[in-house]
Amino acid sequence: MSRADTAAVPTPGRAGAARAPGPLWTLGLFRSELVVTLRRWRTLALLGVLAAVPVLVGIAVRIETQGGGSAGGRGGDGPAFISQVTNNGLFLVFTALAATLPFFLPMAVGVIAGDAVAGEAGGGTLRYLLVAPAGRTRLLLAKYVTVMAFCLVATLVVAVSALATGALLFPLGDLTTISGTRIGFGEGLARALLIALVVAASLTGVAALGLFVSTLTGSGIAAMATTVGLLITVQIVDQIPQLHAVQPYLFPHYWMSFADLMREPLYWDEVRRNLGLQGLYAAVFGSAAWARFAGKDITS
């Protein structure tokens, strides 16, 4: 049976009514959503593109170095990590995350989140999913947890691809932090993992926004396009100097703060602002998605 068919089979209770779903049933729902999402060709294509970005960056830096050019950057923020890639391949992880976070990662998350509910509605499977004793709140939560799991998977795909490419093309070893101090390779790996987790958490706001948009329409394509369009618009607004008063409240404003985790000691102020802002967006748009989905007509 398909997922919709399985979800449509109620569990009979004492008087023939459906039993309330238990914890194992809820975990099964989460697992089903995650497996279905990760098996889609669209998801695999997005992950493939994300994995290719560090490879292309690494090859470009390698060619530039062999050609006698310089891969130097602008100090220590964002893409400036690229200036250290030739000295230590581990820096390709930070460079790849800095290169994909402004657009590629949030775009991929926007596509998955935008299709979460609207894709089910457009495909005619949403009504069957809601026949099961999950309830709308539980199903919406499962969708959001699945999108957040994709955020983590997508970020780790970029990081692992960058680490493998960096190890193949460049030397590995102790590395120099932005503050100029030296740390061991093991600690560098630990910081790379910490930065990857922070980057994944930075996509929380986009995930909630995309899920909210997904509850507004029955067309998956329209929801995905709207989410990506909003993402691009907010990114443009965040770059206009005349709008500096509103920029600290935009979800991408502190995305590059993860560079502060390569300082010695670690500098957490901007990272905390980023995570707090993402939590606020998740609460606002998550609540809006629940309010919309709770009263959504799924009979047509």
Amino acid at 281: Y
For 289, the token pair is 């998605």
24: left (phi over 0), alpha (psi -120 to 50) or beta: alpha
Model pLDDT, residue 237: 95
Count Cα neighbours of 267 within 13 Å in the Cβ-side half-sphere.
12
Angstrom distance (rounded) from CA 238 to CA 147: 24
Is there a contact between 63 and 161 (Cβ–Cβ < 8 Å)?
Answer: no
Q: Classify the C-alpha dihedral 213-217-220-225 as positive or negative.
A: negative
Q: Which ranges of 170-266 does DSSP label H, i.e. alpha helix? A: 185-201, 204-214, 220-237
The secondary structure of residue 67, as a DSSP letter, is: T
What lies within 8 Å, CB to CB, of 83 at 6+ separation is 71, 72, 73
Angstrom distance (rounded) from CA 279 to CA 266: 22
Amino acid at 197: L
The secondary structure of residue 12, as a DSSP letter, is: B
Angstrom distance (rounded) from CA 51 to CA 45: 10
- Mean pLDDT of successive 10-residue segments in the chain (300 residues)? 44 43 70 87 94 94 72 46 83 93 93 86 63 72 93 97 94 87 92 95 95 89 92 93 93 93 90 96 94 70
Model pLDDT, residue 6: 43
What does the domain layout of the chain look like in residue ranges? 23-294
Neighbours of 44 (CB within 10 A): 11
Model pLDDT, residue 283: 96
The secondary structure of residue 216, as a DSSP letter, is: S
Of 276, 282, 210, 252, which Cα lies nearest the Cα of 78?
252
Angstrom distance (rounded) from CA 173 to CA 242: 44
Entry pTM: 0.84
Model pLDDT, residue 67: 64
Model pLDDT, residue 13: 39
Helix/strand/coil for 18: strand
Model pLDDT, residue 219: 84
| Residue found under tokens 């935008």 | 114
Exposed/middle/buried for residue 42 (C-beta within 10 Å: 0-12, 13-18, 19+):
middle
Helix/strand/coil for 121: helix
